[in-house]
Amino acid sequence: MKTLQYFSNNWWHDPASREWFGNINPAIATICARIPCCNARDINRAVSSAHSAFESWQALLPSAHSNLGRKLGDVFVRNADRLGEVETRDNGKELKVFLQTKSVWPETQLSPPKPVA
């Protein structure tokens, strides 16, 4: 079983409480991962990090925002199978349901637009 951490300020962290709770797969009623049980200290760390990141984010040009958004979309597309597997397990659905719906995804929608001639 995997024990997860939370991500803040570009680093992975264990919860300050040193406590985790079980993430249950509802389809088979078993714990499939341990999730951090974050407290106010962890939340304050994340909020402080977000405030710091926002200062540099708002200084970027809109085109940079767009480029970063496209890169994020590309990461989702590249990892769609893994994300789908994790989300399917978390919701207690069968993986075949995810695989059937994946075939209708507009993957090219996340690619950069083609230049207008």
Per-domain boundaries in the chain: 1-59, 60-110
If pLDDT is split at 50, 70 and 90, which confidence band does 111 have?
low
How far is residue 38's CA from residue 43's CA, in Å, rounded to a whole number? 7
Sign for the CA dihedral angle at 79, 81, 85, 87 comes to positive
**pLDDT tens digits, one per residue of 45-104:** 999 999 999 999 999 999 999 999 999 999 988 888 888 888 887 887 777 776 676 665
Q: In what order do the strands lie in the sheet with 30-36?
A: 2-3, 30-36, 20-25
* pLDDT of amino acid 113: 53
β-strand 6-8 against 30-36: which pairing, if any?
Answer: unpaired
